[in-house]
Structure 1
Amino acid sequence: MKIGIVGLANSGKTTIFNALTGQNIPTTIYYTTEA
């Protein structure tokens, strides 16, 4: 089975992944600008 986690930037995808898998993948904040 393959599962994907899809969402906007900085929406917590890695945090959810870490909680579900018990891993500790570091999170990074990507700054965005809107015109």
Structure 2
Amino acid sequence: MIARRARVVGRVVEAVRDDLRGAAPRDPVDGTHMS
């Protein structure tokens, strides 16, 4: 259960970090997004 929660939190943190980074899902100039 803890592991599952940690995974979900990790996803949320990733999403928030992407939002803070620049609002663009993929920036062609930056090129930091690899999905």
When normalised by structure 2's length, the TM-score is 0.34
Q: Higher helix proportion, which one?
A: 2
Bigger RCO (CA 8 Å, 6+ sep): 1
